[in-house]
Amino acid sequence: MFSENPINERNMSLRNYLDKIRPNFEKGGKLHALKSVYDGMETFLYVPRDTSKNGASIHDAIDSKRIMSIVVISLLPAMLFGMYNIGYQNALSAGHIGDATFWGMFVYGLLALLPNILVSYIVGLGIEFIWAQWKGEEIQEGYLVSGILIPLIVPVTIPLWTLALAIAFSVIFAKEIFGGTGMNIFNVALIARAFLFFAYPSKMTGDTIWVADGSIFGLGYALPDSHTMATPLGEIAQGGHVNASISDIAIGLIPGSVGETSVIAIAIGAVILLWTNIASWKTMLSVFVGGGATAFLFQSLGSTPIPWFEHLILGGFCFGAVFMATDPVTSARTETGKWIFGLFVGALAVIIRVMNPGYPEGMMLAILFGNMFAPLIDYYVVQSNINKRAKRVKE
Cα within 13 Å of Cα(357), Cβ side: 9
Quick one: which of 57, 96, 229 has its CA closest to 155?
229
At 198, the amino acid letter reads F
Alpha helix (H) ranges present in the chain? 6-25, 35-45, 64-94, 102-135, 143-152, 160-174, 188-199, 232-237, 246-251, 263-275, 281-300, 310-313, 317-319, 335-355, 363-394
Alpha helix (H) ranges present in 136-217? 143-152, 160-174, 188-199
Question: How far apart (Å, rounded) are the C-alpha atoms in residues 151 and 198?
Answer: 17
3-state SS, residue 69: helix
User: Which residues does residue 56 pair with via DSSP β-bridges, in sequence order?
Assistant: none
3-state SS, residue 219: strand
Q: What is the DSSP letter of 57?
A: -
Radius of gyration of the chain (CA): 23
Q: What is the DSSP letter of 74?
A: H
8 Å CB contact between 79 and 250:
no
Q: Dihedral sign for Cα 202, 195, 149, 345, please.
A: negative
> What pLDDT, in 10s, does the model give residues 10-63?
555 766 777 777 777 677 677 666 666 666 666 656 655 555 555 555 555 566
8 Å CB contact between 322 and 274:
no
3-state SS, residue 216: strand
8 Å CB contact between 192 and 150:
yes
Q: What is the DSSP letter of 221?
A: -
Rounded to the nearest 10 degrees, the angle between the axes of helix 335-355 and helix 363-394 is 140
Report pLDDT for 1.
44
Q: How many CB atoms lie within 10 A of CB 205?
A: 18
Which residues in 113-125 are b (16+ Cβ under 10 Å) and which e?
beebbebbbebbb
Question: How far apart (Å, rounded) are the C-alpha atoms in residues 3 and 258?
Answer: 45
The dihedral formed by the CA atoms of 289, 291, 292 and 295, expressed in degrees to the nearest 10: 150
Question: How far apart (Å, rounded) are the C-alpha atoms in residues 167 and 90?
Answer: 26
Q: How many CB atoms lie within 10 A of CB 390?
A: 10
8 Å CB contact between 342 and 287:
yes
Question: How far apart (Å, rounded) are the C-alpha atoms in residues 133 and 35?
Answer: 8
Report pLDDT for 7.
53
Question: How far apart (Å, rounded) are the C-alpha atoms in residues 289 and 344?
Answer: 10
Find the largest Cα–Cα distance for the chain: 79
Report pLDDT for 394.
77
Q: How many CB atoms lie within 10 A of CB 276?
A: 15
Question: How far apart (Å, rounded) are the C-alpha atoms in residues 179 and 142?
Answer: 12
Per-residue pLDDT of the chain (395 residues; tens, 9 = 90+): 445 555 555 555 766 777 777 777 677 677 666 666 666 666 656 655 555 555 555 555 566 777 888 999 999 999 999 999 999 999 999 988 998 999 999 999 999 999 999 999 999 999 988 888 787 777 777 788 999 999 999 999 999 999 999 999 999 999 999 888 888 999 999 999 999 999 999 999 888 889 998 889 889 898 887 777 778 887 777 766 778 889 999 999 999 999 999 999 999 999 999 999 999 999 999 999 999 999 999 999 988 888 899 999 999 999 999 999 999 999 999 999 999 999 999 999 999 999 887 777 899 999 999 999 999 999 999 999 999 888 888 76
Quick one: which of 192, 186, 181, 187 has its CA closest to 151?
192
Q: Where are the domains of the chain?
A: 25-47+64-229, 243-395
Alpha helix (H) ranges present in 102-159? 102-135, 143-152
